[in-house]
Amino acid sequence: MFTRSENFRTFLQLYPVVSVLVCIHILFWLLLQIPIPQLKILLGLVDGYNAGIANGEYWRLITPIFLHIGFGHLFFNSISLILFAPALERMLGKAKFILIYIVSGMVANIATYIIEPLQYSHIGASGAIFGILGVYLFIVVFRKGLIDQANSQIIISILVIGLVMTFFNSNINVVAHIFGMIGGFIFAPFVIRKRAQFSHQSFYSPNYRRTKFSLNFSPKHIIWVLFIILILLGLIFRLS
């Protein structure tokens, strides 16, 4: 489910939304590296500055999802997208995946605005990424027929590690992580049809072979699981 075997070209073809999101992350980060004060000021107007939102700059509830403060921040969020998002994009389709991603990020940012002080500022895609994990949690709890037990255990383990480690670093936007996951979980029923509406055989047809929700444990898969855990720890232990 979370192991990738596609080459670069195939990945772009199978997961266009994830590919575009990663490209947007990289593009905006590169723009931030250009030593042009006016450009940095312009990009600074789209971070999650609570006082700006209070003054009617509501675009700040969306734009921070696409900005990152440093290369490590960019790297771990982008890798997390590459690992966690493709299977969900194939399951939901492009439009629903974009919707759940943006909505989860907005829920995280709205909660940050409500709970954190006016001078609080933040950027990063972590809230939206935790929203993706929230959708997976909904599948584990309410759509058991769409995922096997091994992958369910992996998802629960990732979520538990993520939530526990969220509280271990003062630089993390704890509110965004928690409410991003809650947002994904709450809105999942609106984008995931009931189990009876899925055709088991069509879902596991060759067209979905690369995102089949099954897992036979082998040394290769164990290495991938360890890699995912390391990525998750990297996602937690940096600015969010």
> How many CB atoms lie under 10 A from the CB of residue 34?
9
Indicate which residue of 177, 202, 214, 240 is catalytic: 177
Q: What is the rounded distance in angstroms from the CA atom of residue 60 to the CA atom of residue 21?
A: 18
> How many CB atoms lie under 10 A from the CB of residue 82?
18
**In sequence order, which residues have a C-beta less than 8 Å from that of residue 43 and are 6 or more positions away?**
28, 31, 32, 67
Rounded (5°) CA angle 68-127-77? 45
Give the phi and the psi of residue 153 in degrees, each rounded to 5: -65, -40
Give the phi and the psi of residue 122 in degrees, each rounded to 5: -155, 155
Indicate which residue of 78, 104, 126, 152 is catalytic: 126
Structure tokens at 120: 């609080």
Q: What is the rounded distance in angstroms from the CA atom of residue 81 to the CA atom of residue 85?
A: 5
Closest residue by Cα to residue 232 from 160, 175, 181, 147: 160
Please say if 104 is a catalytic residue: no
The residue whose two tokens read 């990525």 is 231
Please say if 121 is a catalytic residue: no
Catalytic residues: 126, 177
